[in-house]
Amino acid sequence: MSELLLGDEAVGIAAIDAGISGAFSYPGTPATEILEFIAKRVGSDGSVSARWSANEKVAYEEALGMSFAGKRSIVSMKHVGLNVAADPFINSALTGAHGGLVAVVADDPSMHSSQNEQDSRFYGDFAQIPVFEPSNQQEAYDMTREAFEISEKFGLPIMVRIVTRLAHSRANVTRAEPATVSAEVNIAPEPRDWTLLPVNARRRFRRLLDIQGSLREYSADSPYNKLMLRGPRGILASGLAYNYVLEAIGVDSSYSLMKVGAYPVPVEMVRKLVSHCEYILIVEEGYPFIEARLNGILGIPGKEIRGRQSGDLPADGEMSTDLVRKAMGMPATEASAAATGLPVRPPALCKGCPHCDTFHAIIEATSEVKDRILFSDIGCYTLGALPPYNAVHSCVDMGSSISMALGAAKAGAHPVLCTIGDSTFTHSGMTPLLGAVREDANITVLVLDNATVGMTGGQETFATGDDLLNLIRGLGVDEEHLISFEPVKRNKKEIVAMMRREINHRGLSVLIAKRACVQVMRQSVQLKQDKVATPA
């Protein structure tokens, strides 16, 4: 049974075939399609619970809870999502997994749609759990299936690390027989293992350390790690980067090759490669994870180890065939030479986007202020940083707009405004707002309620309209300074006057700009038209 699938979809179908009972996630490119695919395939038949969570930490903990109950679960997120989920992720290496627990983390080298390009393999290493790094869609399927098996074998969560180009490109994937799993809840037999009081945590950490030898044995025997010894020039590549190497060397079979797809790094295999070769080029997507370990602090005498760390490959950005060729002293391929010089199209807010009107009002309301600070957050509205608005002075991580505003206000700055979308607010804006309420912080918070998660393709948001208003009210914001308005041109004069008043108020104001994203409006109009056109 073979299907043409995105890398994300290959992971999704593997999880379904592995017999998951739940898929958990918070949207984030390039991982969004994993949950979307699972929800579309099996979400409605009731066999799998596949719904968005409020944030990645919640998603991870839900998956962990399902594992505790003896069922298989998958949790997926973009790389920075793992920063948010880091607490349960690291601790779950101690609790262990009961039902198979697989965390799929999608890294974004070159930052196509992210604020950094961190390498999640470090997190796997930090937690001391096995990591799979597929080089193609078939491996994304096979490794995800395998991850569930070894999660239950070792009683550990397992990470599958993918990258944008794999997540978002298609290839044929052959599926294996679906797994047979029990439908019964089967609670973890030893609750103390999951109760990380120091007395239990020490014991569980010891167990994690003791199991490392078995994990190394496992990866040493894994078919996803391969070594082909040939000439004295060697190349070691991991995950997707292996394809660039194969493309770069073409039919030249003189190179010794090693491919890493399962971690811990198979040490004996590396030893054989190093003793056989004088020169080794290490090609990895992300940071020089393997290269740095291989070199240690002092390098290996008599051996040339080359890669991102040595400067033979760039330290940042996506890997490519031509970068590999260049590092090996070969000319660029013709295709890439032709592709250079394409015009760059900067991103922009959609025509008619409600955020445009909110930014225009903010600009006018603060036009006479010399030192205004306009903190912001992550979402479509971050594009307010670009002309003609230039109305965003920060975008760091989800929820940081409110916390940074708090810090700046404590430094004595005024006025301090911040903009945050409805989804980002429920993801991680509520807790700093609670702090702002407690201190009646001298800041003006603008919650941009466009009724969707616009940036990642219009997923369902957790609170919009009256629900959002009531949520914010429930955090204790003073009614007098909690104002909802519709950001449209015809109301601009009143909105600007209201904003000026609230900015001058010495204390906390929360202003909710409530108007739906035009893309979501278009989709719902289309949906209605389709319904009318379709006979029942």
Ligand X SMILES: Cc1ncc(C[n+]2csc(CCOP(=O)(O)OP(=O)(O)O)c2C)c(N)n1
When binding is defined by CB under 6 A, the residue of 450, 461, 464, 509 that contacts ligand SF4 is: 450
Tell me which residue of 440, 447, 443 sits closest to 467, measured CA to CA.
447
Which one of the spans 24-32, 142-150, 190-198, 217-225 is the region binding ligand X (CB under 6 A)?
A: 24-32
When binding is defined by CB under 6 A, the residue of 23, 34, 349, 436 that contacts ligand SF4 is: 349
Q: Report 392-411 residues binding ligand X (CB under 6 A).
A: 398
When binding is defined by CB under 6 A, the residue of 77, 131, 273, 353 that contacts ligand SF4 is: 353
Tokens 């997120």, located at residue: 77
Phi, psi of 123 (to 5 degrees): -65, -40
Q: Which does 27 bind (CB under 5 to 8 A by kind): ligand X, ligand SF4, none?
A: ligand X
- Report the SS3 class of residue 74: strand
CB 229 within 8 A of CB 235: no
Q: Which residues, in sequence order, are bridge partners of residue 22? A: 49, 73
Query: What single DSSP character describes residue 62?
Result: H
User: Distances in Å between the alpha carbon of 294 and those of 263, 274, 290, 341, 381?
Assistant: 14, 9, 6, 37, 43
Query: Does residue 196 touch ligand SF4 according to CB under 6 A?
Result: no
**What is the largest distance, in Å, between two alpha-carbon atoms of the chain?**
76
Q: What angle, 0 to 180 degrees and rounded to 10, lies between the N-to-C axes of helices 212-221 and 137-154?
A: 150
Which one of the spans 75-83, 348-356, 493-501, 526-534 is the region binding ligand SF4 (CB under 6 A)?
A: 348-356
Q: Which does 353 bind (CB under 5 to 8 A by kind): ligand SF4, ligand X, none?
A: ligand SF4
CB 419 within 8 A of CB 394: no
Which one of the spans 184-192, 335-343, 345-353, 491-499 is the region binding ligand SF4 (CB under 6 A)?
A: 345-353
Q: Which does 519 bind (CB under 5 to 8 A by kind): ligand SF4, ligand X, none?
A: ligand SF4
Which one of the spans 17-25, 347-355, 388-396, 468-476 is the region binding ligand SF4 (CB under 6 A)?
A: 347-355
b/e 217-255 (16+ beta carbons within 10 angstroms → b): ebbeebebbebeeeeebbbbbbbbbbbbbeebbeeeeeb
Q: Report 203-242 residues binding ligand SF4 (CB under 6 A).
A: none
CA–CA separation, 495 and 362 (whole Å): 9
Q: Report 366-395 residues binding ligand X (CB under 6 A).
A: 378-381
CB 355 within 8 A of CB 450: yes
Query: Does residue 79 touch ligand X according to CB under 6 A?
Result: no
Which one of the spans 62-70, 215-223, 411-419, 445-453 is the region binding ligand X (CB under 6 A)?
A: 445-453
Query: Does residue 519 touch ligand SF4 according to CB under 6 A?
Result: yes
The nearest distance, CB 234 to ligand X, in angstroms, is 38
When binding is defined by CB under 6 A, the residue of 12, 81, 155, 234 that contacts ligand X is: 81
Residues in contact with 466: Cβ distance below 8 Å, sequence separation at least 6, in sequence order:
none
* Interacting residue ranges for ligand X, rule: CB under 6 A: 26-28, 56, 78, 80-81, 84, 378-381, 398, 421-424, 448, 450, 452-456, 461
* Interacting residue ranges for ligand SF4, rule: CB under 6 A: 349-350, 353, 355, 380, 450, 454, 517-519
